[in-house]
Structure 1
Amino acid sequence: MTIFNRLESNVRGYCRSFPTTFTKAQNANLRDAEGNEFIDFLAGAGTLNYGHNNPKLKAKLIEFLERDGMLHGLDMQTDAKARFLEVFEKRILSPLELDYKVQFTGPTGTNAVEAALKLARKVTGRTNVISFTNGFHGVSLGSVAATGNSHFRDAAGTPLNNVTFMPYYGYMGSNMDTLEYFETILKDSSSGLDLPAAVIVETVQGEGGVNVASTEWLQQLETLCQEHGILLIIDDIQVGCGRTGNFFSFEKAGIVPDIVTLSKSLSAYGLPMSLVLMKSDLDQWEPGEHNGTFRGNNLAFVSAAEAIELYWSDYRFAREVLQKGALIKNRLEEIAENVNDVELEVRGTGMIWGLACQECPALPEKISAAAFERGLIIETSGTDSHVLKILPPLTIEDDQLLQGLDIVADSLKAVLNDDSILEELGLVHAD
């Protein structure tokens, strides 16, 4: 029995899918204790957009450490924070003409969501929040109340209140306008829906199954919120920081959320860091009203600022992301077209893609396991883990990206050629 099995809690998850001990990581390459090499299509669940141990970021971090830069500072002013704010304003906010104040929350995404929901309720004086089916916003009590998946909700151990769920884009099929439904019950004083303080939504539901909202749907949602005095919160924790091709995932829709949450790849190096952006007039906090001991991760400020300077000073990196995204889309479509046993759906945008199998939800997990045996780390998502989720570092080399996609194809073929697996999946019956 390993030290992990003997001592670590049963709550651990990813290590069950990838049962090895990793010892080295560089960009999209991983190595384990036995010397096995892996391609990373997980990227820390979207935390490592710029790859593992990015050498240019690492150099800045080492320099900061060697000069005894202030590491922990609560929310005190530091040179590292000042540089991040200056770079973030210059490279991100100002070019988009976004008038946002910046709040540094505790270092996890769920804390940013908690702060956003708390602020929306404080500003509006209302308690109810609208979230969407298959949405994922975290697992602390406030954020898990806005999370749809019962696996996470059931673990709360207490009633989860003050959140009403609406159907996400496409949830009711292509013929159903889900926002028309939302608007109908919003306007009906007998619908039982309390006027919400806010709507919280992901433009792309990563954990929910790589569900991509249309530009028109997002624009319609913004208009609906404005008409009814509801604050619009965009949760950009997983698909922000370049994942969709722009720094913010909502840019191509041309909307301006009232509040935005960022985390995961914000620090650019896997270091914990989260923030909330809010329109200036919404910054109604009293000093210290929402705080946290680790809301001032200065090491993360260093790597975050450097990454923004390196990758977001012009449009070259964004173009590269879209070009790689097109490679993923085309290869996945080839894979799906060459399969006759089951129907596979390709869905995604930028560099977040999924291979969904509605008729056999257990298939993607079998593909993930087969891929691990062949040197690829790739996870599943969706209600029943029915989506194989492609989420490599944005900095992955093209040839390695295609190599990883070839492993996906080989793994799918191996699973569909294994009679015992097919019998287990209910796709064939044993003689």
Structure 2
Amino acid sequence: MNIFKKQESQVRSYSNNFPVVFQKAKGSWLETENGERYLDFLAGAGSLNYGHNNPVLKQALLEYIENDGITHGLDMHSSAKATFLNALSRYILEPRNLEYKVQFTGPTGTNAVEAALKLARKVTNRTNIVAFTNGFHGCTAGALAATGNQHHRQGAGVSLSNITRIPFEGYADIDGLNLFETMLSDNSSGLDKPAAVLLETVQGEGGLNVASNEWLQRLSKICKANDILMIVDDIQAGCGRTGTFFSFESSGIKPDMVTLSKSIGGYGLPMAVVLLKPELDEWKPGEHNGTFRGNNHAFITAAKALEIYWANDNFENHIKQSSSKVSDVILRTIKRHPKLFVQQKGRGMMIGIECKDGIISSDIAKTCFENGMVIETAGPDDEVVKFFCPLTITESELDQGLAIFEDAVDSIAAKHFKKAS
């Protein structure tokens, strides 16, 4: 561990909570250099929906590399890129009646958000963007301006501007959309007409807050009536995490733009895209650039993931069954320990349990790790324990992880009530 303490910046975070050296990973498991095994209920913060070293994806990648397939090609045409675009169209866009062009950005989610914001401003010739309380969109300047979390915002070192913050659904019992609509119609509200609204339909880092279908439909209607673009950040909630490929599918809305990263690469390889309606494609060549916007290895594994998991509804059914099992345990836990917990949060396998405070959630995560499971927290005060295992997790592995969680809760509850007495 000395090399990390000596050489690596203290900006690192996950390693502070999981102070071991991981060496191998397979499926839903992580293994340290000492051979200790941990169930992974973090899954790369949603980057490993198909698990670690998925054998089918790995084989496709190995064959591509063995045949000297192009690795880096800027944004030049390649057979790997064509394979991905065909798979995306066939298995995702066409079945959902979605017509989008695809922009390959730099390989991080925050770069996709930056591109979407730049394009919205370019197309509308407006600068203001409406974002929502508890939203998280990345740590580069534009995306960070739209992010609500003060811990991340204070690291910017510059003014974070051109954003108007609106209450998300359920925030402090305020009707944020009524406020938004009223301000749009009031010439003295001080709201500069926005180029776009940017939102997560399920707020990942913000605490698994869920926008209802009715709320999303209402927001979409407001945007259309006022010629405002709607950008859905599906970087963490997409690729099946909420139960369907896109998190917004059940609402029936069709966003003007969608940002994807994390699990879109399939194998955990860096990749990010912006899906945009064709009429918005006003970019000039190279206007939003990036050396690594052509990760051909990721194109191969991304295409294979779409082919094997999204050709039918079997995978969605598996996600729903897993979600139901996790939900049952969460609800049972809340009923057994009402003094420790508030409510269930999230949707699909983007689900969690809200604790009374961040101390309880931190103790649960720490105890789970001591007992062989990696799990993290979210929310303004890290008060939500997030169940974020790979979507490919088996029933027995899921049962094992949930048992570790329940044992941790029982242990903490015993300590809590002992102190209270």
TM bucket normalised to smaller: over 0.9
Can you give the 5+ residue segments of structure 2 that lack an aligned partner in the other structure?
none
Asked if the contact 1:172–1:178 (Cα under 8 Å) also holds between the matched residues in 2, the reply is no
Residue 393 of structure 2 corresponds to 396
Q: Report 1:251-330 matches (<5 A).
A: 251-330=249-328
Give 1:155's aligned residue.
155
CA distance in 2, matches of 1:186, 1:340: 42
Q: Distance in 2 between matches of 1:373 and 1:361?
A: 18
Does the 8 A contact of 1:341 with 1:416 survive in 2? no
Give the fraction of aligned pairs with identical amino acids, expressed as a percent: 53
Instruction: Give yes or no for contact 1:210–1:354 (8 Å, CA) kept in 2.
Output: yes
Matched, 1:82 2:79: no
Distance between the aligned counterparts of 1:221 and 1:373, measured in 2?
Answer: 44
Unaligned 5+ segments in structure 1 are: none
Mapped partners of 2:381, 2:373: distance in 1: 21
Query: For 2:106 and 2:217, how far apart are their aligned partners in 1?
Result: 30
Q: Letter of the 1:287 partner, please give it.
A: P
Q: Distance in 2 between matches of 1:422 and 1:74?
A: 61
What per-residue deviation string (whole Å, max 9, x for no partner) do you get for residues 260-287 of structure 1? Answer: 0000000010100000000000000000
Contact 2:337 2:413 in 1 (8 A): no
Structure 2 counterpart of 1:50: 50
CA distance in 1, matches of 2:170, 2:404: 30
Structure 2 counterpart of 1:361: 358
In structure 2, which of residues 170, 176, 179 is the aligned counterpart of residue 181 of structure 1?
179
- Per-residue deviation at 1:362? 1.8
Give the match for residue 59 of structure 1. Answer: 59
Q: Distance in 2 between matches of 1:135 and 1:342?
A: 26
1:351 equivalent in alignment to 2:349: yes
1:100-155 per-position Cα deviation (integer Å, ceiling 9, x unaligned):
11000000000000000000000000000000000000000010000000000000
Equivalent residues in 2 for 1:123-202, closer than 5 Å: 123-173=123-173, 176-202=174-200
Q: Distance in 2 between matches of 1:124 and 1:40?
A: 43
Q: Residue in 2 aligned with 1:118?
A: 118
Matched, 1:31 2:31: yes
Partner of 1:11: 11
Look up the SS of the partner of 1:324 in the other structure.
helix
Letter of the 1:72 counterpart: H
Report the Cα offset of residue 344 of structure 1: 2.8
Q: Secondary structure at the match of 1:156?
A: coil
1:327-382 superposed Cα distances (whole Å, 9 cap, x missing partner): 1111111111111432331112111111102x323210111001000001000000
- Cα RMSD of the aligned pairs, angstroms, is 1.2
What do the CA deviations read for 1:136-182 (whole angstroms, capped 9, x no partner)?
00000010000000000000000000001000010122xx4321111
Q: Residues 306-341 of structure 1, C-alpha deviation per residue, up to 9 Å, x if partnerless?
A: 000000011111111111111111111111111143
So what's the TM-score if we normalise by structure 2? 0.98
TM-score by length of structure 1 reads 0.96
Deviations 1:203-243 (A, max 9, x none): 00010001111000000000000000000000000010011
| SS state at 1:95 partner | helix
In the TM superposition, 1:417-428 aligns within 5 A as: 417-418=414-415, 428=420
Query: Matches of 2:316 and 2:22 in 1, distance apart?
Result: 30
2:103–2:274 contact (8 Å) kept in structure 1: yes
- Secondary structure of 2:214's aligned partner: helix
Give aligned pairs, total. Answer: 421
Q: Tell whether the 8 Å contact from 2:46 to 2:263 is kept in structure 1 after alignment.
A: yes
Alignment-derived partner of residue 369 in structure 2: 372
Matching of residues 327-346 of structure 1 within 5 Å: 327-346=325-344
Distance 2:357 2:249 in 1: 35
CA distance, structure 2, for counterparts of residue 413 and residue 219 of structure 1: 41
Q: Is the 8 A contact 1:145 1:153 kept in 2?
A: yes
- For residue 320 of structure 2, what is the amino acid of its counterpart? L
In 1, Cα distance between equivalents of 2:29 and 2:145: 36
Supply the distance in 2 between the matched residues of 1:399 and 1:336 (Cα, whole angstroms): 23
- 8 Å CA contact 1:136–1:205 kept in 2: the answer is yes
Q: 1:69, CA displacement in angstroms?
A: 0.3
* 1:94 match: secondary structure: helix
User: Contact 2:341–2:353 at 8 Å: present in 1 too?
Assistant: no
Alpha-carbon distance between aligned partners in 1 of 2:319 and 2:36, rounded to the nearest angstrom: 28
Q: Give 2:138's aligned amino acid.
A: G
- Whether the 8 Å contact between 1:131 and 1:199 is mirrored in structure 2 is yes
Distance 1:304 1:343 in 2: 38
What amino acid does structure 1 have at the position aligned with 2:58?
Answer: K
Structure 2 counterpart SS, 1:384: coil
CA distance in 2, matches of 1:364, 1:144: 26
CA contact (8 A) 1:243 1:352 kept: yes
